[in-house]
Chains A and B, each alone.
Chain A
Amino acid sequence: MASSTDIVLKVEDLRVQFHGDGPVSRAVDGVDFEIRNGETVCIVGESGCGKTVTALAVMGLLPQPPARIAGGRILFGGESLLEMPSSGLRALRGKRMAMVFQEPMTSLNPVFTIGDQISEAILVHEAVTTADARRRTIQLLEDVGITDPGKRIDDYPHQLSGGQRQRAMIAMALACGPELMIADEPTTALDVTVQAQILQLLKRLQQHSRMAIQYITHDLGVVATIADRVYVMYAGMIFEQGTTGHIFNNPRHPYTMALLDSLPTREKRGQRLYSIPGSVPHPAYKPSGCPFHPRCPHRRPSCVDAFPEMCDYGEGHLARCPILYGMERDSA
């Protein structure tokens, strides 16, 4: 087992609520996870399950209000981020941890060249000259696979293709050699062939730097390609966690199983796809007990009231379903 000094990010019982006109939305409802050096951890879940809110909470980018962090701890390199003054967070963000967003066009500033925007990240955090920052920016653009970086550095975002923009975003995130990169659906808006290139790029960059990546996605195919470990989220909670092998070959939670069963593949041609009935609950109107119970094929009467505790299957494989855990133990 890795020692605790290896852990870059540790999130404990994080709770984020949104206060609006209606009832309180409990978007993140007691999430625990950790990421070690050099590891790629995927947070998988459908829209509205709280995966982006978790990432924004870690980065300290949640707008408060309407958001409110109602509990929990976020430890980055042993330091508690929630207790840190905003000046400390600013020094950390972009230097030791960085984020790549889903839609590169809306997260790049259209009136500055990409060179300006990438070198800004360097100039803010390090005492270097403008010329040095520019040289490093060209190197970064080359690292992320942009051809002719000496010329493209003076391009505006609209002059780049979607894939190139996302590469520029990644270059910006890498500018100060962060220990942790949070990538929020970075390939969802891209074509499959470009997506494959970006995933390869992330893997290659990681081999050079021991950087940890927290990768947020809803695409299980992407997870299978890049993840070392996986957290499956539903309704603001972690439902299952384990290595990529655990999750794909030996899923233990009905939700994970259902997600894998519902993927259309060639092998399932002619068969009916398994489909999860109903839809993802709204964070303000979560079902009681286990939030998945209205859609669960293994539902028992007790699931309606009893909160599901995490059950340990060993080797870091945990799933939040006492029903299946009990059946497993009885048959063993």
Chain B
Amino acid sequence: MSVETPPILQVQELKKSFAVHRGFLQRKGGSIQAVDGVDLEIQPHQTLGLVGESGCGKSTVARLILRLLPPDSGRIIFEGSEITDLDEQAFKPLRKRIQMIFQDPYSSLNPRMTVAQSIGEGVRMAGIRSKADQRRRIEQLLDMVGMPKASADRYPHEFSGGQRQRVGIARALSVSPRLILCDEPISALDVSIQAQIINLLKDLQQELGLSYLFISHDLNVVSYICDHVCVMYRGQIMEAAPAGALFDSPCHPYTLKLLAAIPGSKTSEKSKSLATDRSSIAATACRFGEQCPDATAACQGQILGLREVAPGHFVRCCLKNEALK
């Protein structure tokens, strides 16, 4: 399947830990493994969903890809070439190829710059020199995201959340990127506005052949928009599969728990109660062990890798490994 079309982005064994500072003197007291060996692949013109609860490391993954944070180890391969060890100078042109849309449209736009100034920075970076051409491009970008031309000379505070998010998208598009990392792009928006932005993202993907990394905690949205989905828990990918397979036949106990938690879902009534004797499970290598309703003593000491349970469907769970044997 991926033989003829190489993925636009590959992430291999990506790791990042943060030091934890404690007390008044801020002494270093251990560290948190925020991203612990993450592998991802995004195919051209496709959308990869990255889901998980807050603190699972999904935003950190996006920041590592964009080099807003340096990774501890691992490889990031963009359009076939490795970009992990590029210095800042060499990485700069890649920032035009990979862009990001942020969750909060209120804090991600500079309040003292007009819309034209915000988008104009990218337009200049893209190499458009003459003022008239820049203006034309800004107006074209605004048109692409469904904003009137007149909004170019207004300031962010004059717009609603949905309109600001459109400006954020126009700014990301200003450098003609191939890949856009969308970090919870709709969760700060009103219900009636969310659909507008989702439709816009899908339209732009079709028109411009964009690829998306779509970070979200909302499984309904992910099931609607994504082609592939990775489920993350405490820094690791627990399950990765094509969207259809993940929602039809979820394997990992954590994925099942997430699906059951969707409000209004049929399974949400009865969530499994935890097994009684948890003491044997605490020592397992599985991140989800302590929370896992299916965990048994057999989980103990197992080495946990991602295993393919069906074509393209990977699961990190020793119980599923057992079932395979």
Q: Mark A258-274, 1 if CB is under 8 A from B, else 0.
A: 11001111101100111
Tell me whether B199 and A272 are in contact (CB under 8 A): yes
Tell me whether A196 and B268 are in contact (CB under 8 A): yes
Please pick, from B190, B192, B219, the residue contacting A192 in the complex, using a CB distance under 8 A.
B219
Tell me whether A224 and B263 are in contact (CB under 8 A): yes
Q: How far is the CA of A220 from the CA of B263 in the complex (A)?
A: 8
Given A259-B192, A266-B247, A279-B160, check contact A191 B262 (CB 8 Å). Answer: no
Given A225-B264, A266-B223, A268-B224, check contact A193 B198 (CB 8 Å). Answer: no
Residues on B with beta carbons closer than 8 Å to the beta carbon of A46: 190-192
Question: A80 interface residue, CB < 8 Å from B?
Answer: no
Question: A275 interface residue, CB < 8 Å from B?
Answer: yes
Tell me whether A192 and B258 are in contact (CB under 8 A): yes
A264, A265, A268, A280 — which one has the most chain B CB atoms within 10 A of its CB? A264
Q: Mark A292-322, 1 if CB is under 8 A from B, else 0.
A: 0001000000000000000000000000000
Q: How far is the CA of A228 from the CA of B258 in the complex (A)?
A: 25
Tell me whether B271 and A196 are in contact (CB under 8 A): yes
Question: A70 interface residue, CB < 8 Å from B?
Answer: no
Question: B7 interface residue, CB < 8 Å from A?
Answer: no
Q: How many Å from the CB of A146 to the closest CB on chain B? A: 16
| Smallest Cβ-Cβ distance to A162: which chain B residue | B54
| Smallest Cβ-Cβ distance to B265: which chain A residue | A221
Question: B108 interface residue, CB < 8 Å from A?
Answer: no
Question: A288 interface residue, CB < 8 Å from B?
Answer: no
Q: How many Å from the CB of A104 to the closest CB on chain B? A: 14
Q: How many Å from the CB of B246 to the closest CB on chain A? A: 10
B196, B217, B263, B268 — which one has the most chain A CB atoms within 10 A of its CB? B263
| Smallest Cβ-Cβ distance to A196: which chain B residue | B261
Question: B79 interface residue, CB < 8 Å from A?
Answer: no
Q: How far is the CA of A200 from the CA of B272 in the complex (A)?
A: 13
Q: How far is the CA of A218 from the CA of B192 in the complex (A)?
A: 10
Residues on A with beta carbons closer than 8 Å to the beta carbon of B220: 221, 263-266
Q: How far is the CA of A259 from the CA of B258 in the complex (A)?
A: 24
| Smallest Cβ-Cβ distance to B197: which chain A residue | A275
Tell me whether B191 and A193 are in contact (CB under 8 A): no
Main secondary structure of the interface of B (DSSP, over half): helix
Q: How far is the CA of A46 from the CA of B196 in the complex (A)?
A: 15
Given A264-B224, A273-B199, A275-B195, check contact A280 B264 (CB 8 Å). Answer: no
Residues on B with beta carbons closer than 8 Å to the beta carbon of A295: 192
Residues on A with beta carbons closer than 8 Å to the beta carbon of B160: 279-280
Tell me whether B223 and A193 are in contact (CB under 8 A): no
Question: A91 interface residue, CB < 8 Å from B?
Answer: no
| Smallest Cβ-Cβ distance to A190: which chain B residue | B54
Tell me whether A265 and B192 are in contact (CB under 8 A): no
Q: How far is the CA of A46 from the CA of B193 in the complex (A)?
A: 10
Question: A47 interface residue, CB < 8 Å from B?
Answer: yes
Q: How far is the CA of A276 from the CA of B264 in the complex (A)?
A: 22
Q: How many Å from the CB of A256 to the closest CB on chain B? A: 11
Tell me whether B261 and A279 are in contact (CB under 8 A): no
Q: How many Å from the CB of A202 to the closest CB on chain B? A: 12
Q: How many Å from the CB of A161 to the closest CB on chain B? A: 10
Q: Mark A183-200, 1 if CB is under 8 A from B, else 0.
A: 000000001111110011
Question: A219 interface residue, CB < 8 Å from B?
Answer: yes
| Smallest Cβ-Cβ distance to B222: which chain A residue | A264
Tell me whether A220 and B191 are in contact (CB under 8 A): yes
Q: How far is the CA of A258 from the CA of B193 in the complex (A)?
A: 11
Q: How far is the CA of A200 from the CA of B224 in the complex (A)?
A: 26
Question: B194 interface residue, CB < 8 Å from A?
Answer: yes
Given A225-B263, A266-B223, check contact A273 B193 (CB 8 Å). Answer: no
Q: Can you show 12 pairs from A to B with CB atoms below 8 A apart? A: A191-B54, A192-B217, A192-B219, A193-B261, A195-B261, A196-B260, A224-B264, A259-B191, A262-B191, A272-B199, A274-B195, A277-B196
Q: A46-B192, A192-B262, A269-B223 are in contact. List 8 more A-B contacts (CB 8 A).
A: A192-B53, A193-B257, A193-B261, A196-B261, A199-B263, A268-B224, A274-B195, A280-B160
